[in-house]
Structures are given as structure tokens and as C-alpha cells.
Structure 1
């Protein structure tokens, strides 16, 4: 199908178009939020912002806030990314998952990677939480901490799961929707175009991870989220299918929510507080490091099998510039080539 704009655009132009698409999608999301808020909760457009910023002060605050967040992420992020792909004439499956099908074992191992890395990540969380800026930037640090305290208070109100129904709504809005929406944007579009623009998978993955962490505007949680972005980025680059980082992203969010729910129900030890900024005991961290390294090695070996291709390593192309078949003698990784948006070989791909 021919798109509204050329699919031969420079990656930078594509990223600019992504911003335009996201802005338009956010406007559509805002319309739906105002319409649904008034329909289900009797809250007008001018009141929605106040209610969602202070959900504990309004009877319908929690429900409206969850609705707003879910619609904003799904329509704004996922809708924006999918609209961009549609405009350029691609099929979503070909753009986000040129390598299909995905073995279920890949999804399981990606989920296990995230679970295994949690104790190790606590060391980064603890270190980042205690980070201090130079004295010359003390005002910036105080502003950042104030904003994060406000965000933490809002998050605590939204994750007050006083019933199983609230928990499962939280799973949908905080685990499922972000895993789909954020991966479509940050890995599916941003990382893809950065890798093509820099002609280097590593530069593309690292820059995309930086943007992914920075967009959350949480300075004292930047490093662990950046590392998570790296894990998700390499899972996508290795696998060539967006479902793999989606499974890992969902596991990260769901595990945190599950631990929080269990703690609220007093079913687990207080030491397993997902909101804590303290590192776990070193035996747990060391074990986590070893298992995480082993899982990364396994995933790299299996996901980058030379008989398959990743999202930026397409070689034999169909009419729309997507992988239609594999060459009889695959090129070794060092000799892989990168392709333009229309499927034209544009140069050697730097590993």
C-alpha cells in the first residue's frame, strides 16, 4: 500500500514526523479522555486536570486517573507510532516485526531475564537515589527531588490496590498498556531509525535507551531505567520482533505491581518493597549478576542465529521492502549490510 508520505525519508525526518504524529495522537487522546470523563464520571474538561493530579481528594479520582493514563498511553503513544507507519505505507507487522514467527521460548527467556536482573538492579536504584549534583546545580537538584516526590506521591495513590479489581485494572493500565505503547515508540520507531541513521546498532540502541529514560523525567531513577532501556533495545535488535521487548517490559512492570500488591496484603516480607531505594544483600546481587549474564549470553546466541535476520539486517526483500526470504549463504555478522527505508542497500552496517 502506498503511504501518504515517502518511505524513503531520512531517519531524522522520520523521527520529526513521529513527533508530529504523537502530538496529533495526544490531541485525539485528550478528546477521548474528556468525552469519557464526562460520560462516566460527570467530570468536565476543565476539571479533569485537577482531579487526575489530586486523585485522593475526589471520589472518582482513582478511576478517572487510571482511565486518563490508559487512554493517553494507548491512543497517544501506540496510536502515534502506528499512524506514522501507516502514513509511510508499511504494514505494522512488517515494520515492527520483520522477523516472524517468534518462538514462545524467546518470550519466556526475555521475561526470565528481567526477573533475574531485579536484585542486580536494586544496586543501581540505591546508587542513583543517593546521587548528588555539584553545588553549582544545587537548585536543579532540589527542583528534581521536589518533582520526583510529587510523582511518587501520585504513583502511590494510583497503586493503592485495596481490592483485586483495582489490582487488575492497574495491571492493564500500568503493565500491559505501557509495554505495548512504549515499545512501539521507543524500540519500534525511535531505535529503528537511530540505528539506520547512525549505521551502528550499538549507537542506536544506547541513544534510544537514553531517550527512553530521559522522557520519564526522573533524574534519580535515570540510570536503572537507562539500563532497562538497553536490555529492551538489545532484545529487539537481536530478535527482530517487537513482541520480545514487549514481553520483557510487561514482566518488569507486572513484577513490580505484584510485589507491591502482595506487600499491601502483607503476604510477603517488608524487605521486598518494590519502592525501596536500598540494595539487596550481596549474595542475591551476585547471583543475579551471574544468572543475568548467562541469560543474556543465551539470548544473544539464539536470537542472533545467522539463519535469521534482525530488524536492521534485512537482506532478501519483497515488493514492500520487507524480508521475503533468506539468502542461501547468509553473510557473517561482520559483513551485514544496512538497508534504506525503501529496501535499498545503502552501506556496510557497523556492528
Structure 2
């Protein structure tokens, strides 16, 4: 299908268009949030901002905050990514997952990788939280720490699960929605175009930096940047957005589940999602070694040639990640290389 956006458009032009779409979907999402908030909680557009800033002081603060966060992430980021993919003329599955299906153990391995990385990541979190900026950035550092403290207060409030239904809502909004919407946006579109522009590694690293910076938690920039790198390489190697989605979901869901277990007093071990204390160095070292080995295994097997069984055509990836259409397809086959480059081939 021919799209409104040429597949030969420069990646920077694509990213500029994505930004325009993000502004549009953000505005529509805010309108939808206002309507739903008014219908469900009786809170109008002018009050929503105050509730989001200090939800703990409002009777319906928890519900409004969850509603706002879920709709904003899904509608703005997820919506912009899907509209961008549709404008290119690709089917969504072809755009975000040119290599499919993928072995289920890849998803499980990505989830295990995230859990195993937590001890090592605790060291990065501890270092980043206590790092000090140069003297000329002292005022900025003070403001950043104030924002971090305010964000921690809101996080503790939102992750206080007084019922099982609240736990399920939090799991949906904090784990499922970001895993879907942020991966579609940052890996599926942003990284895809950056890789086309500056190359594989440069694109992945730049996308990870944007992913971390846009969360506006600069005292946690480094660990989130490392997470972005892991998610970026998982997507680049696998060619399927479901793999980084599984890893991203695990990152958030594991903490939510631990919190719920602690709050139900099923475990005597205290867990603070905002803690910046590092675990013992032997655990961090073992975590780093195990994760490095698992990443090596995933890279080796994900980049091996695989047969991709699509509904309408067969594709095979070479060791370099190039999608090649089989001659059995009766019509023109549109495929993607690992750089996301559109390759069209007529079958005689």
C-alpha cells in the first residue's frame, strides 16, 4: 500500500513529522483526559493540573493520576508512533516487527535479563543519585534534586495499593502501557530513523539518551540510559518490537509486584522503589557477568538466519539482518532491512 509519506524521506524529516504528530496526539489525549476526568470524577480541565501536581491532597487524586498517565502515554506516544507508521504505507506489524514470529524463549530471556540486571543497576542508581555537578551548575542541581524529591512523594502515593483492584490498575498503567507505547515510539520510530541516519550503534545510543532525558529525572539519567541501550539492542538484534516490550514490562512490573507483596505483609523484606542504595558489590559483579553472558547469547541467536512466516509472504533474514523475500510471493513484496530501509522487489 502506498503511504502519504515517502519511504525515501530523510530520517530527520521523519523525526520532525513525528514531533508534529506527537504535539497533535498529546493535545487530543489531554482533551480526552479532561472529558473522562469530568465524567468519572467531576474534575474539570482547569483542575486536572493541580491534581496531577499533588494527587495526595485530593479525594480522587489516585484515580485521576492513573487515568491521566495511562491515556497520555498510550494516546500521545503510542498514538504518534502508530500514525507515523501508518503514514508510511506499511502495516503496523510490518513496520514494528519485520522479523516475525520470534521464538518465545527470546521474550523469556529478555525478561530474565532485566531481573538479573537489577543488582548491577542498583550500583548505577546509587552513583547517579549522589553525583555532584560542576559549581556553575549548582543551582540547576538544587532544582533537579527538589524535583526528584517531589516526584518520589507522588510515586510513593501512587504505589500505595489499598486494594487488589488498585494493584491491577497500577500494573496496567505503570507496566503494560509504558512498555507498549514507549517502545513503539522510542525504539519503533525514533531509533529506527536514527539508525538510518547515523548508523546502527550511533542511532541506538542517541535514542537511549533521548529516552532517558524525556523522563526528566536527571539524577536517574544514567541507569535509564543503560536500560535504553539494552532495549535498543534487543530490538535491533531481534527485529521484533515484542522483545523490548517484554523487557520493558518486566522492568516496571517486577517492582510493582514486589511492592504489593510487601504491602500485603507476605514478605518481611522491605522494598522502596525510590531507594538509591546499592546492593553488595559481589552481587553487582555477578549480575554484570551474568547479564553480559546472556546478552552475548541473545546477540548470537537473534542475529542467526531465521525463517519468518508472515501471513502473506515469506521472509528470511541474512546474518547481516537483511530481509529477503522468497519467490513464492505473487505480488510485490515490501520488506525491511535491519536498518529499517524499505526494499521492494517484484516477483516474476
TM over 0.5: yes
Shift of 1:261: 1.9
Query: Which of 31-40 and 262-271 deviates more?
Result: 262-271
Matches within 5 A, 1:45-64: 45-64=45-64
Shift of 1:267: 2.9
Query: Structure 2: where are the runs of 5+ without partners?
Result: 307-315, 326-330
1:66-93 superposed Cα distances (whole Å, 9 cap, x missing partner)? 0011000001111110001111211110
Determine the C-alpha separation between the residues in 2 that align with 1:114 and 1:238.
16
Note the aligned Cα RMSD (angstroms): 2.0
Specify the alignment match of 1:264 in structure 2: 263
Q: Residues 200 and 339 of structure 2 are in contact (CA less than 8 Å); yes or no, is this contact kept in structure 1?
A: no
Q: Residues 304 and 319 of structure 2 are in contact (CA less than 8 Å); yes or no, is this contact kept in structure 1?
A: no
Determine the C-alpha separation between the residues in 1 that align with 2:286 and 2:340.
40
Q: Residues 317 and 324 of structure 2 are in contact (CA less than 8 Å); yes or no, is this contact kept in structure 1?
A: no
Normalising to structure 2: TM-score of the pair? 0.90
Shift of 1:161: 1.0
Query: Structure 1: where are the runs of 5+ without partners?
Result: 324-335, 345-351
Q: Secondary structure at the match of 2:69?
A: helix
Q: 1:322 and 2:335 equivalent?
A: yes
Specify the alignment match of 2:152 in structure 1: 152
Specify the alignment match of 1:114 in structure 2: 114
Q: 1:313 and 2:326 equivalent?
A: no
Shift of 1:255: 0.6
Determine the C-alpha separation between the residues in 1 that align with 2:272 and 2:303.
36
Query: Which of 41-50 and 281-290 deviates more?
Result: 281-290
Determine the C-alpha separation between the residues in 2 that align with 1:43 and 1:221.
33
Determine the C-alpha separation between the residues in 2 that align with 1:15 and 1:174.
26
Q: 1:93 to 1:141 in 2, by over 3 A?
A: same
Q: 1:6 to 1:223 in 2, by over 3 A?
A: same
Q: 1:297 and 2:296 equivalent?
A: yes
Q: Residues 262 and 270 of structure 2 are in contact (CA less than 8 Å); yes or no, is this contact kept in structure 1?
A: no
Specify the alignment match of 1:190 in structure 2: 190
Matches within 5 A, 1:67-106: 67-106=67-106
Shift of 1:185: 0.5
Query: Which of 270-279 and 180-189 deviates more?
Result: 270-279
The list of structure 1 runs, each at least 4 consecutive aligned residues, that deviate by more than 6 angstroms after superposition, is none
Specify the alignment match of 2:124 in structure 1: 124
Determine the C-alpha separation between the residues in 2 that align with 1:340 and 1:22.
23
1:141-160 superposed Cα distances (whole Å, 9 cap, x missing partner)? 00111111111111111111
Q: Residues 195 and 312 of structure 1 are in contact (CA less than 8 Å); yes or no, is this contact kept in structure 2?
A: no
Matches within 5 A, 1:222-233: 222-233=221-232
Q: 1:94 to 1:53 in 2, by over 3 A?
A: same
Q: Secondary structure at the match of 2:317?
A: coil
